[in-house]
Amino acid sequence: MDRDYARPLDVPALAAVALMSAGHFSRSFRAAYGETPYAYLMTRRVERAKALLRRGDLSVTEVCLAVGCTSLGSFSSRFTELVGESPSAYRARRHDAGAAVPACVAKVGTRPRRTAAADRPAVPARPVSIEEADSAGPS
What pLDDT shows up at residue 7? Answer: 86
pLDDT of residue 23: 93
Neighbours of 41 (CB within 10 A): 21
Closest CA to 48 of 93, 102, 107: 107
pLDDT at 76: 93
Q: How confident is the model at residue 9 (pLDDT cuts 50, 70, 90)?
A: confident
Report if residue 32 sits inside a domain. yes
Distance CA 80, CA 53 (A): 13
Q: Is residue 122 part of a domain?
A: no
CA distance linking residue 61 with residue 52, whole number of Å? 11
For residue 32, pLDDT over 60 is answered with yes
Q: Is residue 95 part of a domain?
A: yes
**Whole-model pTM?**
0.68
Q: What is the pLDDT of residues 82-138, one digit of tens each?
A: 989 999 998 988 766 655 566 666 655 556 665 544 454 544 445 545 555 455 555
pLDDT at residue 93, as a whole number? 84
- Give me the CATH number covering residue 80: 1.10.10.60
User: Does a structural domain hold residue 126?
Assistant: no
- Domain encompassing residue 77: 11-117
Residue-by-residue DSSP string for 6-48: TS---HHHHHHHTTS-HHHHHHHHHHHHSS-HHHHHHHHHHHH
Count of domains in the chain?
1
101 or 2, which is more confident?
2
Q: Is residue 135 part of a domain?
A: no
Domain annotation covers residue 130 = no
Q: What is the DSSP letter of 66?
A: H
The predicted pLDDT at position 30 comes to 94
Confidence of residue 26 (pLDDT cuts 50, 70, 90): very high
Instruction: Give me the mean pLDDT over the 16-41 stretch.
Output: 92
Residue 131 inside a domain? The answer is no
What would the pLDDT profile of 54-95 be if each residue is shown by its tens digit? 888 899 999 999 999 999 999 999 999 998 999 999 898 876
